[in-house]
Chains A and B, each alone.
Chain A
């Protein structure tokens, strides 16, 4: 990035932090960044978290609630007037009444949750009743893939994108796009139809990579998958070009110069404001990862997920928090990596899921620890859609889960209509997480067949949200979950101490 831009950005951030620090003097606030790629479960996590806090759900490990010190939580008007409100009520209705998962998020939205509590410490209690604003932000997960672009110029972006498109697992999907690239001369005259055709093919290729059969993750730029309100603008009509590594700077008037301009415009008008407004000033971060979806699709999807996560997480600023530094610069002092949808597994496999996630985010975790942030890894389900059971069948005892699969899900040639309940055994996760990665990196050829067979032994279906029990008065109970309380304890527990 241009040093002047960097300086400008940093100044803006510092000023915004000063303003925040001033307003925090009256009621402290905490910005919780919920990060996760598309379909990782951000919206569901936010909904479940707010629902459980507001309705006093079962949160035994969340000490403020379990110790009966939390007197209430309520929704409040959000601080930013220009951002839409997170439609919490509609999401809860969808989950509880219609039993469907919320649709893909298409734009940024925000919510402020205010928690009233009494501190456990005598001194703070005497200062008055405790209150904490928790600011929550929801956004399309695709956009997160833009953050690594901030530090890349057009040439690097092109080289990265094309080398990925040429990789073995993608070359088939990318064939139409690569064919168009091979026909295009980057130093030819600029032309709008050519740019549009390239951009369209690039978008189709990215969308195909994301389909369930491939489930790839590393697909920047994010707005190509989820355009938001900028669809069709020049800033979203560019594509990588085949530029030799030692090429001279582009001459004005060429196709390459046009693409480069648009790429920079994309960064200035789309990525940077997004990062500045929502990610540069976080206090706590939870990274949601849908490991099971990638496991379903196979080893390439896992490898891709690992790269995407480590690139995205490189954009954040973990570090130790001190009172002086927190006035000028904000650092993320606690990061929680969570493998979502743990309810698709029997509890006996949760530890293995955690081990796989730990291996997946190892680099980001190490970096955060090195900078002094606290890190935790866990397997959770913000909304628990299944119950557990044991199935005895043909002399075998299988740990199974009970639930209603979404309509259209299929297993062993059997398609489900979304009404019938099933008992399902999804297979055993490998005991050694390395066995998944070893075959990806082809370090050891002998492990490959074992993983290929292991993969056929795993199949995760998607289930409908649970049917909630109602009390005699007709009140619905809070949403069931797995380890949501532990996540909350780690993320905001210490601020309610």
Chain B
């Protein structure tokens, strides 16, 4: 009805409700008789508003652990400072130029530390911003608030401003935002036009690392090597996904991200393990077709894929609104197929 091509020349008109030619009805499908006006009153169900999000988010408690950490790290820094101080004093006691050299090195280290800290803080802030943005877009989509959605999407556009590969998507999305579109629809459009290529790439990253893990597990001689390979591969996946979605975290930021992924995994993992994974592993589906070694590889690969999925939902600056995002069964098929192929090749090569 709000489209640009309204039937033009609709003149203002009024109908008296007590007129004989005007009838009130609740049945929207009825067709008016000739020269009669049919009035249907609109009712909008105005349901009770939801409580603010904060009501259901657990409060970050007052943590003594933090105090302990702050105290201990403070002591360690003091100790290092003291050691450096006494070292430089000793150097000066020996010869002056050695002392100055020490001072210069210490200054260099301090500068490096400062740069490191700044970069870490910037990384953390960027992650925070992404988390925040996701919450806001989720709320905007839930409440269908077009103002909030526009504000959030503008931020999304700035986040991807210096990413040339998103240029086309950004242009399309900016076009959508100039039009009158409801909030939840805007978020869906952003998902479709701006984030879809990134989602595809993210999927590929997860898929490839899952495959790699399953192969490495299958051929590795020791359990310890498996473990290291899986750990390394997973950390790398998280880092790459974060970079893909615009996070670029530093070391601290990365640790926080990894913690988020683990939390997310704990929340969603138990539920999902109940359905697809367990039935596939325990049932005949997989085990019957593969050798024991490769079956193990597939399980590890699936674990990697699961971590990758959790990482995607933690790194992505927008919630999945129109779809549910990638699921483990998306990866299952291809993973099993590639393992089967490897299984066939392996006996031949031996």
| A interface list, Cβ under 8 A from B | 58, 60-61, 63, 66-68, 120, 122, 348-349, 351, 387-394, 396, 398-400, 402, 411-412, 414, 420-428, 431, 456-459, 461
Contact = CB atoms under 8 A, between A and B. Distances in A.
10 contacts: A67-B55, A388-B44, A390-B28, A391-B39, A393-B15, A411-B14, A414-B14, A421-B17, A424-B12, A428-B10
Which one of B13, B18, B32, B59 has the highest number of Cβ atoms from chain A below 10 Å of its Cβ?
B13
Contact of B2 (A351, A421, A423): A351
Contacts of A412: 12-14
Contact of A426 (B1, B12, B16): B12
B16 to A, nearest CB: 5
Contacts of A426: 12
B223 interface: no
A120 B18 CA distance: 51
A425 B31 CA distance: 19
Interface string B11-54: 11111111000100000101110011111111010101101101
Interface SS of chain B: loop
A60 B49 contact: yes
Contact of A389 (B4, B16, B41): B41
A67 B52 contact: yes
Given A66-B49, A389-B40, A392-B38, A423 B12 contact: no
In the complex, the 8 A-B pairs of residues with the closest C-beta atoms, listed nearest first: A60-B49, A459-B12, A393-B37, A424-B14, A388-B42, A392-B38, A427-B12, A66-B49
Nearest to A389: B41
A434 B13 CA distance: 25
Interface SS of chain A: mixed
A431 B54 CA distance: 39
Contacts of B46: 58, 60
B6 interface: yes
Contacts of A411: 12-14
Contact of A392 (B17, B37, B59): B37
Chain B residues touching A, range: 35 or more
Interface of B: 1-2, 4, 6-7, 9-18, 22, 28, 30-32, 35-42, 44, 46, 48-49, 51-52, 54-55, 59, 180
A411 B41 CA distance: 21
A424 B13 contact: yes
Contacts of A120: 52, 54
Contacts of A348: 1-2
B49 A423 contact: no
Contact of B17 (A390, A393, A396, A420): A420
Contact of B39 (A389, A396, A414): A389
Contacts of A390: 28, 39-40, 42
A465 B308 CA distance: 59
B20 to A, nearest CB: 13
B41 to A, nearest CB: 5
